[in-house]
């Protein structure tokens, strides 16, 4: 039978369509995304000639990004950053990079992407200014194509101006402190942040997926193309797809919509964060010209005025912590391994949510929250038009807030972990009628880009007549900071409103330090500006007994929150200690006391209160240590769960059996110290659940080293954290040890940070040595690009036996 040409054409088109549908996992990646962090030159100071290609950079440093120059410097009381930014310097610096691109890239669209530069950056390519970006937390990029010399050397230069101080209430860091990428695509491509995925209907049987993609055509002629959307599961197997034929005009953008269905979806939640990805492919004349990936987590969630929060229909309390962006001894450097360690520690505590305080987080943080199962409150800013410190974001508000907010939403709206948009923290305009219009404007900007998540703001004023942000009527979810004693009145006061404790607690502790007695609650200082009798060594007791004047203790807050069904949950201030804001002390204190975990990542005792409440794993934690003066009265606390009683023994003699009374979250004994063994046994219906023992430690004898992983990647980024402890001959921690540890690293790694968690320590985080504090410190080792086993040697030179640990590199 003879076939007509039009039939052949239809058959051919059908075959092509079937081919496109069948090869989702076989696509060659056309879009080129290159790590652009290597081999930058850096110099502190102002060097306007840095934009020129003939500049002599022989006296400039060569380094790998991300980079924070502030953390490398010395603490100084006179630094204009003051205590809010840890007394570390800021200033101005320049970065330069020389690079060559292939000649065949001349037909492509080439862009550079910065995840974050703090702050006031200006980027130049071959002497041409591409633009400025004042906000140091916003991700941004520029197209380079028209200024590049393909096949020849190019020079990119970045000026970073963090000189105007103070400009923040916490440590910001200085420099190109997040990752940089070079992106090359064909002139017909998916636009930057050009996709938006939602899941309008979700059930165990199926999920509908609504997908919008913005295509950009930089060609001088219109284009016809095929657009394919594929959904791939965690094994890269295609579970749904759609292919359409589209047209686009010359030099224009066009948004296309695809709707898909995933059958028997694996839902994303905090225990099983199942992820898919969407692959967008553009074909022109049967040739692939672009592919673009978008994360997808299939989930549904709901905030309710009476029942709180639910995820996938399951009532779920938001058990959250607030986090600032620094990574301790690494400063502001965004390192995925450092962030993963932080989140792992919090996950083991039972945390299921993170509030990004008070700025857009790094991409690595956002990706890890997706991967590890954390609900995210994504927060835009700490400041609107009214300042909190002299040179903060209020100076850039009028010119930049709209673009900054739009870019923030576009960047983060595809992360399934994000379930709230916070437009501000403790904003001054809540006390001013101007807050009404600004709140409405910001909420409108958010909802023009995403209507699937509630808009909230962290408020401090819960009297309606005094709160103009609330009066705007633009918030979908009310976030309140502190004043936990008022929570019981909220259902009446804010009738029908959905409510979250957006920030709570602000208790103070130093790891391993204990003041007796432990049963009196102290506010340090008792009120704003008041003096108080603190400790001469700038410490705060690790018993949950000291709070800031505006806050409360961990136990009091959680006892209140857990009773309130209407309350969606809470975000504790803070998960980790952070650089800056060292309330309640002045210099030399330079990092915060608020964390449940100290700056080095070593848990304080209250960590185990949360673990006993927020997890189902058996917990029995007793403290303090057992090295005291004979006859001294020592308060022994126990946090426990999965048991109905705990019995305490001293040197084999029972000191009694106790159970938590009423709604208490701990039990305690007052014990006259005698050296030996303190032991606790938890029981449920008479059956032993757990046993914990603490020995009186003898003289310091050995160094114990424990690495958080056995191998690291040979990628020049990966990290291993080594916890260093001073022990006696029997391996018991010496709790008052303060020996100086010298570190020596050989093989495939380099030492990039040391810390002991002491909030008033002024030794450099970048030294080759570190004093243990209350028996412990950490060393951070980074891959150096050599595929050799890493060896860390730790020694004191004072008679304590040295120790060595090896870590593999692969």
Express each pLDDT in 403-415 by its tens digit. 999 999 999 999 9
Whether 202 maps to a domain, the answer reads: yes
- Average pLDDT rounded to a whole number, residues 795-804: 96
Beta-carbon contacts of 22 under 8 Å, excluding residues fewer than 6 positions away, are none
Assessment of whether the complete model's pTM goes beyond 0.85: yes
Q: With residue 230 as reference, give the H or E element that holds it.
A: strand 223-232
Side by side, the strands of the sheet bearing 790-795 are 711-712, 803-809, 790-795, 740-746, 769-771
* Angle subtended at Cα 521 by Cα 516 and Cα 524, rounded to the nearest 5 degrees: 95
3-state secondary structure of 393: helix
pLDDT of residue 532: 87
CA 342, CA 578: separation in Å to the nearest integer?
Answer: 12
C-beta neighbour count of 635 within 10 angstroms: 18
Confidence of residue 11 (pLDDT cuts 50, 70, 90): very low
Residues of the chain with pLDDT > 90, as a percent, come to 95
b/e 464-486 (16+ beta carbons within 10 angstroms → b):
eeebbbbebebbbbbbbbbbbee
Token digits of residue 472 = 């705007």
Among 314-328, 527-541, 608-622, 738-752, the minimum mean pLDDT is found in 527-541
Q: How far apart are the first and last CA of the chain?
A: 62
CB-based contact 720:773 (threshold 8 Å): no
Predicted confidence at residue 22, as pLDDT, reads 45
Query: Which residues fall within 8 angstroms of residue 540, CB to CB, at 6 or more apart?
Result: 508, 509, 510, 513, 524, 534, 546, 584, 593
Is 649 a domain residue? no
Please give the pLDDT value at position 531.
84
Q: Are residues 572 and 437 in the same domain?
A: yes
Query: Residue 29 has what pLDDT?
Result: 73
Residue 627 has pLDDT above 80, yes or no: yes
Nearest to 680 by CA among 700, 698, 666, 661: 666
CB 322 within 8 A of CB 481: no
Residue where a domain stops, chosen among 542, 577, 612: 577
Peptide bond into 166 cis (omega under 30): yes
Q: What is the pLDDT of residue 25?
A: 43
CB atoms near residue 461 (< 10 Å): 17
Residues 317 and 277 both lie in one domain: no
Res 27: pLDDT: 52
pLDDT band at 4 (very low <50, low <70, confident <90, very high): very low
Q: Is residue 793 part of a domain?
A: yes
In a domain, 389, yes or no: yes
Question: What does the DSSP assignment read for 125-155?
Answer: ETTEEEEEE--TT--EEEE-GGG--TTSEEE
**174 close to 272: Cβ distance less than 8 angstroms:** no
- At 609, give phi and psi (nearest 5°): -65, -45
The answer to whether 161 and 92 are in contact (CB under 8 A) is yes
Residues 6 or more apart whose Cβ sits within 8 Å of residue 26: none
21 pLDDT more than 60: no
Is position 503 annotated as part of the catalytic site? yes
Cis peptide before 420 (omega within 30 of 0): no
443 found inside a domain: yes
Average pLDDT of the chain to the nearest whole number: 96
What's the CA dihedral at 7, 13, 14, 18 to 10 degrees? 160
d(CA 198, CA 113): 25
In a domain, 280, yes or no: yes
**Which of 358, 368, 732 lies closest to 580 in space, CA to CA?**
358
Q: What is the mean pLDDT of residues 165-188?
A: 99
Residue 345 in domain: yes
**Residue 465 pLDDT:** 96
Quick one: 197 and 256 in the same domain? Answer: yes
- Helices 607-614 and 554-561, packing angle to 10 deg: 20
Residues 342 and 267 in one domain: no
Residue 709 pLDDT exceeds 50 = yes
User: Based on the domain organization, do 563 and 476 belong to the same domain?
Assistant: yes
As a whole number, mean pLDDT of residues 614-628 equals 99
Tell me if 10 is assigned to some domain.
Answer: yes
Q: Given a cut of 60, is residue 173 above it in pLDDT?
A: yes
Examine the pLDDT at 12 and tell me if it is beyond 70: no
Strands 667-672 and 633-640, sheet pairing: antiparallel
Question: What CATH number has the domain bearing residue 563?
Answer: 3.20.20.80
- Starting at the earlier edge strand, list the strands of the sheet with 645-650: 653-658, 645-650, 677-684, 687-695
Shared domain for 270 and 308, answered yes or no, is no
Question: Token pair for residue 655?
Answer: 């000191």
pLDDT tens-digit map of 637-663:
999 999 999 999 999 999 999 999 999
Reduced to 3 states (helix: H, G, I; strand: E, B; else coil), residue 188 is strand
Are 311 and 574 in contact, with CB atoms under 8 Å apart? no
Q: Same domain for 259 and 384?
A: no
- Tell whether 291 and 361 lie within a shared domain: no
Residue whose structure tokens are 């504090």: 773
Band of pLDDT at residue 28, cut at 50, 70 and 90: low
Find out whether 127 and 149 touch, Cβ atoms under 8 Å.
Answer: no
CATH number at residue 217: 2.60.40.10
Catalytic residue selected from 186, 379, 503, 555: 503
| CA distance linking residue 769 with residue 753, whole number of Å | 9
User: Using alpha carbons only, what angle is made at residue 168 by residues 167 and 170, rounded to the nearest 5 degrees?
Assistant: 150
pLDDT digits (tens, 9 = 90+) for 222-265: 999 999 999 999 999 999 999 999 999 999 999 999 999 999 99
User: Which residues constitute the domain of residue 791?
Assistant: 702-809
Report the percent of the chain where pLDDT is more than 70.
97
For the cut 50, the answer to whether the pLDDT of residue 557 exceeds it is yes
Helix (H, G, I), strand (E, B) or coil at 777: strand
Q: Which of 186, 426, 429, 555 is catalytic?
A: 426
Bridge partners (DSSP) listed for residue 571: 320
Alpha-carbon gap, residue 771 to 338, rounded angstroms: 21
Residues 169, 388: Cα–Cα separation, whole Å: 8
* 561 and 421 within one domain: yes
User: What is the rounded distance in angstroms from the CA atom of residue 695 to the CA atom of residue 20?
Assistant: 68
Cite the beta strand spans of 332-428 per DSSP E: 353-356, 375-379, 418-425
Q: 318-323 and 353-356 as β-strands: parallel, antiparallel, unpaired?
A: parallel
For 70, the token pair is 């502030």
Max CA separation in the chain (angstroms): 107
450 and 315 in a common domain = yes
| pLDDT classification of 513: cutoffs 50, 70, 90 | very high
384 and 267 co-located in one domain: no
Instruction: List alpha helices for 450-553, DSSP H.
Output: 468-471, 490-493
Query: Which of 559, 577, 595 is the last residue before a domain boundary?
Result: 577
pLDDT of residue 365: 99
> How confident is the model at residue 1, as a pLDDT?
31
What residues pair up with 287 in beta bridges, in sequence order? 284
Q: Which helix (H) or strand (E) holds 363?
A: helix 363-372
Q: Is the dihedral angle over the CA atoms 127, 128, 133, 139 positive or is it negative? A: negative
Q: Taking residues 181-194, what's their average pLDDT?
A: 98
pLDDT given at position 529: 87
Residues 368 and 277 in one domain: no
Is a pLDDT exceeding 70 seen at residue 9? no
* pLDDT above 50: residue 2: no
Give 407-455 pLDDT, tens digit per residue.
999 999 999 999 999 999 999 999 999 999 999 999 999 999 999 999 9
Query: Does the annotation mark 284 as catalytic?
Result: no
Q: What is the pLDDT of residues 354-404, one digit of tens each?
A: 999 999 999 999 999 999 999 999 999 999 999 999 999 999 999 999 999
C-alpha 648/C-alpha 670 separation (Å) is 11
- Number of domains into which the chain is organized: 3
Which residue in this structure is represented by tokens 């197997």?
237
Burial 101-115 (b: 16+ CB within 10 A, else e): beeebeebbbbbbbb
Domain boundary among 261, 296, 331: 296
């Amino acid at each position: 039978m003879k076939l007509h040409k039009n039939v052949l054409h239809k058959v051919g088109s059908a075959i092509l369509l079937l081919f496109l549908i069948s090869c989702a996992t076989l696509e060659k990646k056309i879009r080129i995304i290159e790590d652009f962090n290597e081999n930058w030159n850096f110099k502190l100071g102002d060097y306007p000639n840095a934009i020129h290609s003939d500049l002599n950079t022989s006296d400039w440093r060569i380094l790998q990004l991300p980079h924070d120059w502030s953390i490398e410097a010395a603490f100084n009381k006179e630094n204009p950053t003051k205590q809010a930014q840890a007394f570390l310097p800021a200033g101005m610096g320049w970065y330069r990079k020389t690079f060559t691109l292939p000649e065949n890239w001349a037909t492509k669209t080439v862009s550079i992407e910065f995840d974050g530069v703090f702050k006031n950056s200006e980027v130049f390519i071959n002497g041409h200014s591409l633009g400025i970006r004042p906000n140091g937390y916003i991700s941004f990029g520029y197209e380079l194509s028209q200024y590049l010399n393909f096949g020849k050397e190019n020079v990119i230069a970045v000026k970073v101006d963090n000189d105007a101080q103070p400009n923040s209430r916490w440590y910001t860091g200085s420099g190109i402190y997040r990752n940089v990428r070079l992106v090359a695509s064909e002139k017909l491509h998916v636009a930057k942040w050009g996709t938006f995925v939602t899941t309008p209907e979700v059930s165990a049987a199926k999920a509908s997926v609504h997908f919008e993609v913005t295509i950009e055509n930089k060609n001088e002629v219109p284009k016809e193309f095929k657009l394919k959307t594929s959904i791939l599961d965690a094994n890269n197997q295609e579970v749904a797809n759609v292919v359409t034929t589209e047209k686009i005009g010359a030099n224009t953008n066009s948004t296309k919509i695809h709707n898909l269905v995933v059958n028997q979806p694996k839902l994303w939640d905090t225990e099983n964060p199942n992820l898919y990805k969407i692959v967008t492919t553009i074909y022109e004349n049967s040739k692939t010209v672009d592919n673009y990936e978008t994360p997808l987590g299939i989930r549904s969630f709901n905030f309710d005025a009476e029942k709180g929060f639910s995820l996938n229909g399951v009532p779920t309390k938001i058990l959250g912590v607030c986090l600032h962006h620094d990574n301790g001894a690494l400063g502001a450097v965004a390192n995925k391994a450092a962030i993963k360690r932080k989140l792992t520690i919090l996950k083991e505590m039972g945390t299921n949510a993170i509030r990004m305080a008070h700025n857009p987080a790094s991409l690595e943080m956002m990706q890890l929250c997706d991967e590890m199962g954390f609900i995210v409150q994504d927060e835009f800013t700490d400041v609107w038009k009214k300042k909190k410190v002299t040179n903060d974001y209020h100076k850039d508000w009028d010119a930049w807030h709209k673009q900054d907010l739009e870019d923030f939403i576009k960047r983060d709206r595809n992360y399934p972990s994000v379930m709230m948009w916070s437009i501000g923290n403790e904003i001054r305009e809540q006390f001013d009628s101007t807050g009404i219009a600004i709140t409405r404007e910001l909420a409108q900007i958010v909802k023009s880009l995403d209507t699937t998540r509630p808009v909230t703001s962290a408020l401090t004023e819960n009297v309606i007549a005094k709160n103009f942000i609330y009066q705007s009527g633009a918030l979908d979810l009310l976030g309140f900071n502190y004043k936990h004693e008022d929570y019981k009145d909220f259902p009446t006061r804010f009738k029908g409103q959905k409510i979250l404790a957006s920030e709570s607690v602000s208790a103070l502790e130093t790891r391993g330090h204990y003041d007796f007695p432990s049963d009196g609650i102290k506010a340090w200082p008792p009120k704003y500006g008041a003096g108080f009798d603190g400790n001469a060594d700038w410490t705060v007791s690790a018993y949950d007994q000291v709070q800031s004047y505006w806050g409360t203790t961990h136990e009091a807050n959680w006892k209140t929150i857990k009773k309130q069904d209407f309350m969606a949950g809470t975000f504790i201030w803070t998960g980790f200690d952070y650089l800056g804001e060292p309330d309640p002390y002045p210099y030399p204190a330079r990092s915060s006391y608020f964390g449940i975990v100290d700056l080095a990542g070593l848990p304080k005792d209250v960590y185990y209160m949360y673990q006993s409440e927020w997890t189902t794993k058996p917990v029995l934690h007793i403290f303090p240590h057992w090295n005291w003066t004979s006859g001294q009265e020592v308060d022994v606390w126990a946090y426990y769960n999965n048991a109905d009683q705990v019995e305490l023994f001293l040197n084999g003699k029972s000191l009694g059996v106790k159970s938590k009374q009423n709604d208490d979250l701990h039990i305690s004994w007052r014990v006259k110290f005698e050296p030996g063994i303190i032991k606790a046994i938890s029981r449920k219906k008479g059956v032993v659940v757990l046993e914990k023992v603490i020995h009186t430690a003898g003289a310091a004898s050995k160094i114990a080293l424990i690495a958080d992983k056995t191998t690291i990647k040979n990628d020049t980024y990966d990290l291993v954290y080594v916890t260093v402890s001073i022990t006696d001959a029997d391996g018991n921690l010496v709790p008052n040890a303060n020996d100086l540890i010298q570190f020596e690293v050989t093989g495939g790694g380099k030492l990039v940070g040391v810390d002991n968690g002491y909030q008033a320590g002024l030794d450099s985080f970048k030294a080759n040595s570190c004093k243990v504090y209350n028996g412990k410190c950490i060393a951070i080792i980074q891959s150096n690009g050599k595929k050799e086993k890493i060896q860390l040697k730790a020694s004191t030179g004072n008679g304590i036996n040295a120790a060595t640990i090896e870590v593999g590199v692969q």
